[in-house]
């Protein structure tokens, strides 16, 4: 049966207008005024906004780390995403043993049976030689048009500058976007060793051993490498410092093909949150910074020099010794308690996938910092365009997948762990008062969220083959 969404206000990245949407099968078939259909389920969206389903291009699901695993997999993470209005996520494939294709196949084998929303992958490149260079050219055939390199995590994930330069040249030739995690791994290693030797082991030293200046210089270094690699397109992940915004805008002003994302945690929290009794909840890499960094990152969001709002979703239990109830079953997964007495052993990561859109609606649109159209651009359309999903995803146009979020701008909630639906035992925004919330969500025309009711299933999400993306300036 077709679905007809009537009387809603459509919000796209560029327009706001009243219209009906006819969904037939998995796609939007028609948008117009006063639509009718002989055999249709009618949904009255009077008083509601109609948004494209969100696209979160930076998540880590089912990720092994520090003798445990991130607590959301592709089912539970997708469920949390959907309750927050997001219908497509992009995860990362580690470069483990074997070829790139073999690694991708292993991660698809994990994700396909579980995925509850649509998903794709980025490919991490953490070792590089001529054989890997040849394999990179095959990634688009596997639906992957982006890869990630690291300037930190020495002896694990980091490539040398020369290797990053070579990766960028190969990726550019293959029509692949390079993502970079920008920190200075050498400085981090020295400061961590010094902190531990001095007995400084509490969570606050996670931030103090990963200085903001290391991120700033690594971001500029990445831009310089990309410029020398034939102006290879570059995307800064999880921007967290004022200086990164400066470097991004400097590169853009000089004509480089450089883009960036930030995450909600870097807009609302600071390193002082790591001083709290439960400061381990706020440990992620890169860490929170200072209030002045919050302000400058907001400026980048408001001016659209930062094009995307992502999450870097990688949740762990705060206390993995105590089970929570998830879908009627007790669940306990070792988490941040593994690092009691040693900040270097605290799993790095936060829940955020379900929080992104509700939090930024209240704190961005509700405060007048950004318009509803900017909100849709950052959360839906821009990531779809940059990562080769548009107009299949991130758009309300005929022929697009019917990924739709009905948004009630007047719905007031007290937010927290129960509404977020992550499979973990805490939420960073516990008790926040929000106004504006998704009330119904569709994935390719199928209703998966209706109020507090969940209709998604493991395996109902699909792997999405991506095309070469766009450069947004």
Judge contact between 64 and 25, C-beta under 8 A. Answer: no
- What is the pLDDT at residue 362? 98
Domain ranges (residues) in the chain: 2-52+393-454, 62-383
Per-residue pLDDT tens for 171-222? 999 999 999 999 999 999 999 999 999 999 999 999 999 999 999 999 999 9
What is the homologous superfamily of the domain 62-383 according to CATH?
Metal-dependent hydrolases (3.20.20.140)
| Range 2-52+393-454: architecture per CATH | Roll (2.30)
Question: How buried is 133 (Cβ within 10 angstroms: 0-12 exposed, 13-18 middle, 19+ buried)?
Answer: middle
- What is the pLDDT at residue 297? 98
Show Cβ contacts of residue 41 under 8 Å, excluding neighbours closer than 6 positions. 1, 2, 3, 4
- What is the pLDDT at residue 284? 98
Judge contact between 275 and 204, C-beta under 8 A. Answer: yes
Output the pTM of the full model. Answer: 0.98
Q: How far apart are CA 465 and CA 146, in angstroms?
A: 12
Query: What's the 3-state SS for 31-98?
Result: EECCCCCCCEEEEECCCCEEEECEEECCECCCCEECCEECCCCCCHHHHHHHHCCEEEEEEEECCCCC
Per-residue pLDDT tens for 11-29? 999 999 999 999 999 999 9
| Residue ranges of the chain with per-residue pLDDT less than 50 | none
- What is the pLDDT at residue 1? 75
């Amino acid at each position: 049966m077709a679905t007809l969404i009537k009387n809603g206000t459509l919000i796209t990245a560029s327009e706001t207008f009243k219209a009906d949407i006819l969904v037939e099968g998995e796609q939007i078939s028609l948008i117009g005024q006063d639509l009718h259909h002989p055999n249709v389920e009618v949904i009255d969206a009077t008083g509601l906004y109609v948004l494209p389903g969100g696209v979160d291009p930076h998540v880590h699901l089912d990720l092994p780390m520090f003798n445990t695993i991130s607590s959301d997999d592709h089912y539970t993470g997708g469920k949390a995403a959907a309750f927050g209005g997001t219908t497509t996520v992009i995860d990362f494939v580690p470069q483990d043993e074997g070829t790139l294709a073999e690694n991708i196949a292993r991660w698809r084998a994990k994700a396909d049976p579980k995925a509850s929303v649509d998903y794709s992958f980025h490919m991490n490149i953490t070792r590089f030689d001529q054989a890997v260079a040849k394999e990179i050219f095959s990634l688009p055939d596997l639906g992957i048009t982006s890869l990630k390199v690291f300037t930190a995590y020495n002896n694990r994930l980091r490539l040398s500058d020369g290797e990053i330069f070579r990766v960028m040249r190969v990726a550019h030739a293959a029509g692949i976007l390079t993502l970079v995690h920008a920190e200075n791994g050498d400085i981090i290693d020295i400061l961590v060793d010094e902190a531990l030797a001095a007995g400084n082991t509490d969570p606050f030293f996670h931030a103090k051993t990963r200085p903001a200046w290391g991120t700033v210089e690594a971001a500029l270094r990445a831009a310089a490498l990309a410029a020398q690699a034939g102006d290879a397109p570059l995307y800064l992940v999880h921007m967290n410092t004022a200086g990164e915004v400066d470097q991004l805008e400097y590169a853009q002003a000089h004509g480089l093909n450089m883009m960036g994302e930030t995450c909600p945690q870097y807009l609302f929290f600071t390193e002082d949150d790591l001083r709290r009794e439960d400061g381990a909840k706020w440990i992620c890499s890169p860490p929170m910074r200072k209030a002045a960094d919050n302000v400058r990152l907001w400026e980048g969001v408001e001016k659209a020099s930062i094009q995307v709002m992502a999450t870097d979703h990688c949740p762990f239990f705060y206390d993995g010794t105590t089970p929570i109830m998830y879908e009627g079953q007790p669940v306990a997964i070792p988490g941040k308690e593994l690092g009691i007495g040693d900040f270097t052993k605290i799993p790095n990561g936060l829940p955020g996938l379900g929080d992104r859109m509700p939090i930024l609606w209240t704190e961005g649109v509700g405060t007048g910092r950004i318009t509803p159209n900017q909100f849709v651009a950052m959360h839906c359309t821009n990531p779809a365009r940059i990562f080769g999903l548009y107009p299949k995803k991130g758009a309300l146009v005929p022929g697009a997948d019917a990924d739709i979020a009905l948004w009630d701008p007047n719905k007031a909630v007290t937010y927290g762990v129960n509404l977020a639906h992550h499979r973990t035992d805490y939420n960073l925004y516990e008790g926040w008062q929000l106004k504006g919330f998704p009330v119904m969500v569709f994935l390719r025309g199928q209703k998966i969220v209706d109020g507090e009711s969940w209709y998604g299933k493991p395996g109902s999400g699909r792997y999405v083959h991506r095309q070469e993306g766009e450069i947004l300036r």
